[in-house]
Structure 1
Amino acid sequence: MSDLLFRTDLLGEFDRLQQQMSSLFAGFPASLRATRSEIFPPVNIGSTDDSVEIVAFAPGLDPASIDVSIDKGVLTISGERKPDAPEAADGVRVYASERFMGAFRRVVELPQHADPDKVDARYANGCLTISIGRSEASKPRAITVQ
């Protein structure tokens, strides 16, 4: 005879837990392909000793249609991607579209050491690269011991 004694029905508890988990994730799609990416453009953010580097992946955009601004320590990237898929008038019926189209706005909070007066933005090969210089006071420096 086992020394373990369960005061409740263990399988019933697992069933209850499974129901709670199912209701918790009920709003999520069954697969990643079913999700629509609402965050556009995706960004990578990093830093060097001299700058904060932000790369936004935004292929197929006209650089003139991208707006970049900094206000109170917040970087904003906005613009619009025009549809480039075949039109319904061409006799093509689109039944799946995974490429984001429409207006977008991406907001990134900058670190305190970023200097909004030292900004360089360039667009090449579908990537918007934004380099924001660091303030002089925040740059690492060597101190000579006497």
Structure 2
Amino acid sequence: MNDLFFGSDLFNEFDRLQQQMASLFNGFPSSIRSGRFGTFPQINVGSTDDSIEIVAFAPGIDPKALEVSIDKGLLVISGERTTAQPEAADDTRVYAQERFAGTYRRVVELPEQADPDKVTARYTDGCLAISIGKKETSKPRAITVQ
């Protein structure tokens, strides 16, 4: 036991260890379905009785530049976002740039009840709204008790 040194208070050491572990894993998703901060486009996913609703927030994107596809239960949103900043003088140095520019690809795993033949997509006010119908067998239905 002489080889181990915990300082004067064992609880302080546990607290320090917990803080170090938290800082080590800071920024990682809390679950496998969580998105990474800074991914583009950011999305909201929800569902109704009849469909799965996905909204991708993609302001400043030309709708013709958006590519949406479904293959083997995966919805893929991809394209390229160009910079929309005015020309800067040659001697301007950029210290911070928060707007993402470049190619992107976002993949969303769809539930089994998604019907890839019933998909609509529309782009309005910087939001890409995708509606995927559910298969008839997965829709809730009322059973009459006799």
Bin of the TM-score, shorter chain as denominator length: 0.7 to 0.9
Deviations 1:66-90 (A, max 9, x none): 1000001000000111011233446
Q: Kindly tell me: are residues 27 and 116 of structure 1, through their superposed partners in 2, closer, same or farther at Cα, counting changes over 3 Å?
A: closer
Aligned to 1:136: 136
TM, length-normalised to structure 2: 0.78
Identity of aligned residues (%): 59
Q: How many residues align?
A: 133
1:11: how far off? 2.6
- Write the distance in 2 (CA, Å) between the matches of 1:23 and 1:133: 43
Q: Does the CA-based 8 Å contact 1:76-1:105 persist in structure 2?
A: yes
Unaligned runs of 5+ in 1: 1-7, 30-35
- Write the distance in 2 (CA, Å) between the matches of 1:87 and 1:37: 29
Aligned to 1:116: 116
1:9: how far off? 4.7
Match of 1:22 among 17, 20, 23: 20
Tell which structure's C-alpha radius of gyration is larger: 1
4+ runs of 1 displaced by more than 6 Å? none
Q: Does the CA-based 8 Å contact 2:66-2:78 persist in structure 1?
A: yes
- Write the distance in 1 (CA, Å) between the matches of 2:131 and 2:39: 21
Aligned to 2:58: 58
Greater percentage in helix: 1
CA RMSD of aligned residues (A): 2.5
SS in structure 2 of the partner of residue 25 of structure 1: helix
Alignment of 1:41-52 (within 5 A): 41-52=41-52
